[in-house]
Structure 1
Amino acid sequence: MKHQSASREITSTFSQRLTDLGALVKFRLSATVVLSSVLAYMVALGAGSFSWWYVFVLTAGGFLTTAAANVLNEVLEKDYDRQMERTRTRPLAEGRLSSSDALLIAGFSSIGGITLLALFNPWTAFLGMVSLISYAFVYTPLKRVGPVAVLVGAIPGALPALIGCAAAEGQITLLGLTLFTIQFFWQLPHFYAIGYLGYEDYAKAGFKLVPERNGTVDAKTLGRDAVIAAIVLVPLAAVPYYLGVTSIWAAGLVVLLSGVFLHFALAFRAQPGRKSALGMMFFSFAYLPLAFTAYWIGQQFILN
């Protein structure tokens, strides 16, 4: 009985450690970021030989680099996380992990991630480092300054697309810059919806991520900015076709997706509220992977 009890305790402790580690590195967010990088890599690869080994290296390098940035973010914000409902149970906020342990994890993750990215070329390693540093040490402190943090944070948030293209092409190209720009503008309505929905919680920690007026969120300005970003996505969606990397029907599909995204942004601007914000947020989750996948599938029709 004592042996079984000890075994269950060990299993429970191990399970909790894994759960805490997943929360620390923000596993789902990191996986989403890596997906955009891999899809961009596949789009940029073109007629190049496809290798699952390179996909694995890009996935692992991107995940470790993103994880390191997320861990550093949580170390810097652990005191603020305790004040917000949605983050108060994070392992650092509750003290289940120490800051020194987290920094050790971030250090090894960053070294491993940048090293793996460097196996492609210097550009991927450089862009990975820029993404890590700008997210952890520029975006994170700016969150308590004002909404400019969202624009600044969208840069490291969009760099995975550029990293994926650089891994395939070995340099910064128009395609890489195009996919980077698409991911940059996609993030704005995406986060504006999240910022609107979580405004009160963010305010508890002193985060100023959305425009305010008279002590509450300025939904009119937020809606206007979401619409502007969605409008920009419509013509951007066609650029990969003109660069010759995808088919016209694939570009047309992404233009259509951008139009639907614009519809949700317009609905939020016309009637800001939980329902319209949720609609814009949930569609944003689907937009980017669908868009990049469409470009890749459309490319196969050109190559074949």
Structure 2
Amino acid sequence: MSNTRVHSSNASILSDFKEITKMRLAISVVFSSVAGYFLGADNIDFVVVTLLAIGGYLMVGASNAYNQIIERNLDALMDRTKNRPLPAGRMSVPVAFSIASIFTVLGLVVLYIINPKTAMFGAISIFLYVSIYTPLKTKTPLSVFVGAFPGAIPFMLGWVAATGKFSIEPGTLFMIQFFWQFPHFWAIGWWLFDDYKKGGFFMLPTGKRDRGTAIQIILYTCWTILVSLIPVFGVTGKLFLTPVSGVIIFILGLGMLYYAIRLFQQKTAEAAKKLMFASVSYITLLQIVYVLDKFIRQWI
């Protein structure tokens, strides 16, 4: 019996640790960073890749822990978040703050080992997310605009880690993920509108699940597709995409746009949920196509 209790206790601690750092989200951010590194690196250094993955996870984990500390009372009001470690009482604020602080320091040190600029952008990301985006979520729909900045940093962070400099190439990667944030987060805001309302969060541009919000989702989806295709035209330095890959990206974009239009037509939570999954698929597949395009060109 005591062994069972120990095992379940350990499983609970691990589960709470994964929840406070939002492990799945952190892993997706690490994926974006590593994709950016592969695009920027002339020669792949797997020590740097490992440091980038560890540093990126630590920084995202810290941001999420701070976020949950600040929003713990609001999280208790929403079905989606009321069972998180803090509102459920399974973890104390001092423990969560210790995790967040240790992750911040270690994350910055690890990223600094790669190069100072990578650490600087990591620090900017955590500051914007925790100090500006999080407080604004209950004040104004513009919080999504502010949150798009730290959300767009990971893809470009990988390029900066590979080259040690910020230029048009990582700037383009930043813009792709920046515009993508809007249809992605507005889809989530629409899908979970009622739950967000309980916590007093303003996520949709008009504040409502209406025609205006749906039109803006379509517009920003179009902007995302267009920005994603800029590297095809050879105007973004070393970041280049072949026409074949451009066509693939365009088709993927049309798939995302289809779900954005369906949301406009149906205006349902289910349609928003489908768009959210389509947006995640789009950005993930886009990053894979970009990386494969580069290495296939090198092999040929």
TM-score w.r.t. length of structure 1:
0.94
Q: Which moved more, 1:104-113 or 1:7-16?
A: 7-16
1:17 to 13, 16, 40: 13
Runs of 4+ with >4 A deviation: none
Q: Could you report, residue by residue, the CA deviation over 1:120-168 in whole angstroms, capped at 9, with x for unpaired residues?
A: 2111000000100110110000001111001111110111112111001
CA distance in 2, matches of 1:233, 1:223: 15
1:283 maps onto 2:278 in alignment: yes
Structure 2 counterparts to residues 86-165 of structure 1, below 5 A? 86-165=80-159
In 1, the alpha carbon distance for the partners of 2:206 and 2:161 equals 40
Listed as ranges, the matches of 1:164-175 within 5 Å are: 164-175=158-169
Aligned residues: 295
Displacement after TM superposition at 1:108 (Å): 0.6
Map of 1:40 onto structure 2: 36
In the alignment, the residues of structure 1 paired with residue 137 and residue 224 of structure 2 have an alpha-carbon distance, to the nearest angstrom, of 25
How many angstroms apart in 2 are the aligned matches of 1:211 and 1:129?
Answer: 28
Identify which of 234, 252, 261 aligns with 1:266.
Answer: 261
How large is the RMSD of aligned CA atoms in angstroms? Answer: 1.3
Deviation at 1:278, TM superposition (A): 2.1
Are positions 1:30 and 2:21 aligned together? Answer: no
1:298 aligns with 2:299: no
Shift of 1:223: 0.8
2:66 aligns with one of 60, 72, 75: 72
How many percent of aligned residue pairs carry the same amino acid? Answer: 32
User: How far apart are the structure 1 equivalents of 2:111 and 2:215?
Assistant: 38
1:220 to 211, 236, 239: 211
Matched position secondary structure for 2:71? helix
- The amino acid across from 1:23 in the alignment is E
- Letter of the structure 2 residue corresponding to residue 81 of structure 1: D
Q: Name the counterpart of 1:231.
A: 222
Of the three residues 194, 198, 201, the one matched with 1:200 is: 194
TM-score normalised to structure 2 length? 0.95
- Which sections of structure 2, spanning at least 5 residues, go unmatched? none
Question: What is the CA-CA distance between 1:212 and the residue it aligns to?
Answer: 4.8
Shift of 1:18: 0.2
